[in-house]
Structure 1
Amino acid sequence: MNTIDRRLVIGAGLALATPSSASAQETPVARTSHGRVRGMRTGDTLTFKGIRYGAPTQRFQPPSAPRPWRGIRDALAYGPACPQRGLDSEQQSEDCLFLNVWTPSLSGARPVMVYIHGGAYNTGSGSSALTDGARLCAHGDVVVVTLNHRINAFGYCYLAAHGFADSGNVGQLDLILALEWVRDNIGRFGGDPSCVTVFGQSGGGAKIATLMAMPAARGLFHRAATMSGQQVTASGPLNAARRTAAYLEGLGLAAANARTLVAITAAQLVAALQTPDPVLGFGSVYFGPVLDERHLSRHPFYPDAAPQSLHVPMLIGNTHDETRGFVGADRAIFNLSWDDVPRRLATAMRVDVLPEEVVRVYRRLYPNYSPSEVYFAASTAARSWRGALIELEGRAHAGAPAFAYQLDWRSPAEGGIFGAPHTLDIPLVFGNLEASDYIGERTADGEAMSRTMMDTFIRFARTGEPGWAPYTLPQRATMIFNQRSNIQNDPRRAEREFFARIPYVQPGA
């Protein structure tokens, strides 16, 4: 049995464990619409992990509700993550539709905060130490939910031409099923089903933006916060089909034999994710939401903000130094020469512009910047930040409530060389500073920044506004989170204006 298949068996066993012998006084029991679950008490917080919200999945098919069970099932351990590369620390299984709940009490009607994990639709889970909901729950007297769902080829491989009409968006349908579970059950966990906030970072934010254009998600959430994650356009069906063809070739399958995909092992499907992307021309094959005219019939923020969700307040944010979070082991990028920068920028930006012209403009705007500082600033502005601006402007033009933030607080790791990188806002919002490679410990400065961001997100979840003016044109009010947070109108205006004249290409689309 290969590694992923072995984890499939182990993970399913953990999630469906038989009731333990712990007394009811020590372990709370909640009733769901499918059966009762037993959690655990840690201090003043009740935790339920690995609650099944969907039945075991059928590959490339929409999810379905779980079968009811008798007795009490343990909810004491996280459920398995969707099969993927690079997540050796967790069990993996195609049977991955599980969620986790942190609550102060099973009674009451508190705001509900549902976190959707990132990972570029390709990796990740709701079981990370970064997103443990205990501190956020206790700090704000809110109910916190995290979840797993199908990602990469399992959630987004577009196989409509081969008999799987829903396949390009089943990962999104999993999220909708999870939100339906929240609507139907969170009241029994002390939450208010009429006050549900979805929030997510990177790919999680992109998934949320996509949900805002999916009719089946209408009414399932009442606020939305996206952290360094945008989805201006989905993948078109023709490009999605090109990616499927390349993926099948990577698997050694002819297109006519695509249905054999349901019979091969999960490990084989994961291994083929390394197939080069035929649309982008670099990187591994991209899978994400598809404009399939079935579940998604318009782009989330093109040509405008999706009308169905204009009444939902949005909090849209980015970090100041997003691309410093993509450095990895390549520390040479901190010591680039001016000759190096154009070549590096060519594949890091999401706009089609001469990199040499970008360097020229940035050297004029920031004459004291080093080559590496120009690289990080320009690649950040042309990538995640540009998508956020398009979404904010779309909401502003529609008169819909949206609020902007930018995280400038420098992470202390390695003398601060990473600035405010991609993912830094996750541990700050959840209060899990020691779980972050960029922070690593609980300091007075980190605690203060974390409290500020936690308070902001909790206020937004509770009231629909975070404490500053909405993003309007031409003011562009933006909260700058730092040791001394403040509101700035149109921050980095010159950078914004430079890239605004160049068409934006959604990553992956």
Structure 2
Amino acid sequence: MTAERVVHAPAGDVASSRRGDGVTAFLGIPFASPPVGERRFRAPVAHPVWPEPLVAERFGASPMQQRSVFTEGLDLSEDCLTLNIWAPDAAVDLPVVFWVYGGGFAGGSSAVPLFDGSRLAAEAGIVVVSANHRTGALGFASLVHRGLPEASNLGLRDVVAALRWTAENIGAFGGDPAQVTVMGQSSGAFLSAALLAVPEARSDFDKLLLISGGASRLVPEEQAERLGDQLLAAVGVESGPELLSVGAETIVEAQRRVGSLEIGARNAPVPESLGVVLDHDIDGVLSAHPLDVIRSGRAERVPILLMVTGAEVAGLRGLDSEFTPPDDRAIVAEIAGWGAADAAGIAAAYGHGELGAKREQILTDFIYRLPAARAALAQNAAGGRAWVAQIDEPDGSLAGHDLPVRVLFGNLDGTEGRDGADPLEGLSGRLRDIVTEFVVHGRSDWAPFDRADGDVLRVGDGVRVEPGAFADMLRRWEGVVRP
């Protein structure tokens, strides 16, 4: 039996015997009181200090959500506000990565095996933290206007609370609270970028690493209220407080009838889906749009590394049997609906090939690559530093949305080994090297993306700098707002 390691933290003593490769895993630590009963649809509150040592050897329950391959074998519960820490045994003032998972705002979990932080902590010499946040309607339904005064951006509030717990306690685990990089993917990246506009979070992190997401995809308050109304109608109640007596499973089932399941509609300038709400007009969580915070220079001191893939929507389109438009006119109409004055010209710039592939690349650019490039340009223009990288397949072909997160932590599954022979293993190592350099030193080894024809790092069959990789994309979308 491996000897138990006990950490004396301000939140209480934490014990674990889950040790290997010089790293101890502390799993399922509650950072907030359970958001159940009368606390459903309310902001998280700090968990009371536990009087006896907390045995932290199992992941806490994952947030309530529809079952998927990602949650197979995981417990689901509203009582989900826990975090996990992987700390090198001799850690003292080490840099910290705070991981925010994706899941389209509808699901996700810090207990997914791919996100085990042991290898990243051991190889990079850092402390890794991951935390659950509420998802779906329980985390992102806006119901302030329907009698639930705290029900706005609850999932984001959970991230803020977990980040604050980390700032207050990570020193006891060997981490440096002054060196915390928030790293998120997909919806987790949109949540991470939103932290720039949350005043109470700004002192709790010093770097941002955004993968397939950026300072965009904000849901306007008026739209958020419409989606909240749709939720009440789907559940069959008249007011927000009535949701407190409805089973969580019923709410999760009802949220499938809120907004749209189609990826283009979900990520339009006015998203037809739940997500981070621009709630600054109702004295909510955000003080402004996060991109406006970047442009103003208020995020100048925060280095930002943005990573995207070249075919983000390739894997996501398979979830929609009606993804392919009937003709070019439908593509032009969709782009025009985003406010483009020359929608036909933009559509033509993507060629005249198979319509599904054409729409796939348009959505890849508009949802992911364009916002990443613009956020980097804005950060550098405001006096800060920001870099852009594109992650490709190990053979150099364009990668889909999930590739970076599948290899980032080094927990390769299936037939992949750890002897360096597998192509994914090589890509995984290259990606972790880049992440480590940024997390530990707050910089990257290529030039900041400070102009439209600036340098983009391509990471796939090797590592190379490609000047001007995003120049054509930025030019064709010039003048089209990506909220």
Q: Normalising by structure 1, report the TM-score.
A: 0.84
Q: Supply the distance in 1 between the matched residues of 2:235 and 2:292 (Cα, whole angstroms).
A: 34
RMSD: 2.9
Change (3 A) 1:230 1:49: same
Question: CA offsets, 1:174-221, max 9 Å, x none?
Answer: 111111111111111111111111101001110011011110111100
In structure 1, the partner of 2:277 is: 289
Q: Secondary structure at the match of 1:66?
A: coil
Q: Secondary structure at the match of 1:122?
A: coil
Work out the number of aligned pairs and report it: 465
Matches within 5 A, 1:78-227: 78-87=59-68, 88-89=71-72, 90-105=74-89, 107-227=91-211
Structure 1 gap ranges (5+)? 1-21
1:261 aligns with 2:249: no
In structure 2, the partner of 1:30 is: 7
Residue range with higher mean Cα deviation, 190-199 or 68-77: 68-77
Change (3 A) 1:182 1:304: closer
In structure 2, the partner of 1:66 is: 47
1:300 aligns with 2:282: no
Question: CA offsets, 1:359-394, max 9 Å, x none?
Answer: 432227xxxx65554343222112211221221222
Q: Supply the distance in 2 between the matched residues of 1:388 and 1:249 (Cα, whole angstroms).
A: 36
In structure 1, the partner of 2:410 is: 431
Q: Supply the distance in 1 between the matched residues of 2:186 and 2:211 (Cα, whole angstroms).
A: 6
Question: CA offsets, 1:281-330, max 9 Å, x none?
Answer: 95674243342433212111148536432211000111011011203366
Q: Supply the distance in 1 between the matched residues of 2:413 and 2:261 (Cα, whole angstroms).
A: 39
Matches within 5 A, 1:461-476: 461-476=439-454
Amino acid at match of 2:41: F
Assess if the C-alpha contact under 8 Å between 1:113 and 1:196 holds in 2: yes
Q: Supply the distance in 2 between the matched residues of 1:378 and 1:99 (Cα, whole angstroms).
A: 37
In structure 2, the partner of 1:406 is: 390
Assess if the C-alpha contact under 8 Å between 2:21 and 2:122 holds in 1: no
Assess if the C-alpha contact under 8 Å between 1:30 and 1:106 holds in 2: no
What's the CA shift for 1:62? 1.3
Structure 2 gap ranges (5+)? 267-271
Residue range with higher mean Cα deviation, 352-361 or 185-194: 352-361
Change (3 A) 1:206 1:340: same
1:314 aligns with 2:292: no
Amino acid at match of 1:26: A
Assess if the C-alpha contact under 8 Å between 2:219 and 2:274 holds in 1: no
In structure 2, the partner of 1:275 is: 257
Residue range with higher mean Cα deviation, 276-285 or 223-232: 276-285
Assess if the C-alpha contact under 8 Å between 2:392 and 2:459 holds in 1: yes
Assess if the C-alpha contact under 8 Å between 1:250 and 1:275 holds in 2: yes
Q: Supply the distance in 2 between the matched residues of 1:245 and 1:380 (Cα, whole angstroms).
A: 30
Change (3 A) 1:431 1:250: same
In structure 2, the partner of 1:42 is: 20
Identity across aligned pairs (percent)? Answer: 27
Change (3 A) 1:497 1:384: same
Change (3 A) 1:175 1:403: same
Amino acid at match of 1:34: A
In structure 2, the partner of 1:15 is: none
Q: Supply the distance in 2 between the matched residues of 1:151 and 1:111 (Cα, whole angstroms).
A: 28
Amino acid at match of 2:364: T
Q: Supply the distance in 2 between the matched residues of 1:472 and 1:124 (Cα, whole angstroms).
A: 33
Q: Supply the distance in 1 between the matched residues of 2:356 and 2:222 (Cα, whole angstroms).
A: 37
Assess if the C-alpha contact under 8 Å between 1:233 and 1:302 holds in 2: no
Q: Supply the distance in 1 between the matched residues of 2:312 and 2:192 (Cα, whole angstroms).
A: 19
Amino acid at match of 1:258: G
Residue range with higher mean Cα deviation, 122-131 or 152-161: 152-161
In structure 1, the partner of 2:269 is: none
Change (3 A) 1:236 1:356: closer
Q: Supply the distance in 1 between the matched residues of 2:153 and 2:427 (Cα, whole angstroms).
A: 37
The counterpart of 1:325, out of the listed 291, 315, 321, is 315
Change (3 A) 1:307 1:93: farther
The counterpart of 2:474, out of the listed 460, 481, 496, is 496
Q: Supply the distance in 1 between the matched residues of 2:118 and 2:395 (Cα, whole angstroms).
A: 23
What's the CA shift for 1:66? 1.0
Q: Normalising by structure 2, report the TM-score.
A: 0.88
Question: CA offsets, 1:74-130, max 9 Å, x none?
Answer: 211111111111345221111111011111115412111110011122210111112
Assess if the C-alpha contact under 8 Å between 1:107 and 1:188 holds in 2: no
Change (3 A) 1:267 1:219: same
Assess if the C-alpha contact under 8 Å between 1:274 and 1:285 holds in 2: no
Change (3 A) 1:348 1:94: farther
Q: Supply the distance in 1 between the matched residues of 2:336 and 2:211 (Cα, whole angstroms).
A: 19
1:77 aligns with 2:64: no
Change (3 A) 1:253 1:372: closer
Q: Supply the distance in 2 between the matched residues of 1:244 and 1:41 (Cα, whole angstroms).
A: 44
